[in-house]
Structure 1
Amino acid sequence: MGFGSDLKYSHDALLKLQDWELRLLETVKKFMAIRVKSDKEYASTLQNLCNQVDKESTSQLDYISNVSKSWLLMVQQTEQLSRIMKTHAEDLNSGPLHRLTMMIKDKQQVKKSYIGVHQQIEAEMFKVTKTELEKLKCSYRQLIKEVNSAKEKYKEAVAKVKKK
């Protein structure tokens, strides 16, 4: 019965590997979700900052100088960064994060299916090794009794023939 016990260790190892992979994927998913949230908040904060600066600066920019041009360029680039960060966060959320969520669900389903098939195989193995084996043993014992009974009858018949 070494074969069955070796399979049990393999089954346990596969379950541990599946659990480890699922935990890792959940960690990656949590990281990505926090990253999306953080990037969106950062983009929103940058945009709010630019909106606030625009309100204050428009009334003060009566004179155009190199400093004011630099300032406007810095505000525009900050707005552009805000838009890029928001776009990247949305892309991350709708692309890799969504696919990762689907992969986690698939892996959970595969694990559930694997466990079900394993239980079915174990039940079949139990049936074959225990139940059917016991039936065969009982049948064998019954046949031994019948053989012994037939031998006794044969010996009695031979003894009767010798007496005559």
Structure 2
Amino acid sequence: MGFGRDLINSHEGLLKLQDWELKLLETVKRFMTLRVKSDKEYAALLLSMTQQTEKQEAADYVSTVSKSWSQVIRQTEALGHIMRSHADDLNSGPLHRLATLIRDKQQVKKSYQSLHQQLESHNHKVTKNDLEKLKASYRQLSRDANNAKEKYREALSKGRSWFGRACC
């Protein structure tokens, strides 16, 4: 069948899988944290650039070039706001849920290890201690059976000798 043989290393395999998943989730968390940080820095730089150009910009002349430049500045400022908003959303949403998932997985692993230890302890108790009790009981019953057999033989031999005297 092989089913039992396949389960021999299942505990170690499951622990390795849990460790690998936790490591991957930690890597994703670090990546997302760096992404949030870099997006916020990028947004701050974009907004800083637009504020500096607005201070320097002189509205003496209105032309298609100045209108185009104003449009570039507005779009850059809008991009800065969007980048900051997305970074905040990523930080408060998926990153927060990821941290919760990591804590939950760590708790599940800890709980699994605790339950596995309890089961191993119970299994040891049942297979070793109870088995020793059964072996001791078997030995005692075997001695009792041998004693009863001896008594039977003695009684049989006494019965023959008594029966033999009564006949003759």
User: Normalization by structure 1: what TM-score?
Assistant: 0.92
Aligned to 2:36: 36
Task: For residues 81-102 of structure 1, give each alpha carbon's deviation from its aligned partner in whole angstroms, at most 9, with x where no partner exists.
Answer: 0000000000001111111111
Q: Of 67, 70, 77, which aligns to 2:68?
A: 70
Deviation at residue 10 of structure 1 after TM alignment: 1.2
Aligned to 1:12: 12
Aligned to 1:51: 51
Distance 2:79 2:158 in 1: 114
Distance 1:123 1:4 in 2: 19
Distance 1:126 1:132 in 2: 9
What SS does structure 2 have at the residue aligned with 1:8? coil
Q: Of 152, 155, 166, which aligns to 1:154?
A: 152
Aligned to 1:22: 22
Q: Share of identical aligned residues, percent?
A: 61
Deviation at residue 161 of structure 1 after TM alignment: 2.5
Q: Of 100, 116, 132, which aligns to 2:114?
A: 116
Distance 1:43 1:76 in 2: 14
Tell me the matched-pair count.
161
- Amino acid paired to 2:35: R
What SS does structure 2 have at the residue aligned with 1:89? helix
Structure 2 runs not aligned, ≥5 long? 163-168
Distance 1:6 1:55 in 2: 72
**Larger radius of gyration between Structure 1 and Structure 2:** 2
- Amino acid paired to 1:105: R
Aligned to 2:137: 139
Deviation at residue 7 of structure 1 after TM alignment: 2.8
User: Normalization by structure 2: what TM-score?
Assistant: 0.89
- Amino acid paired to 1:80: A
RMSD, aligned CA: 1.5
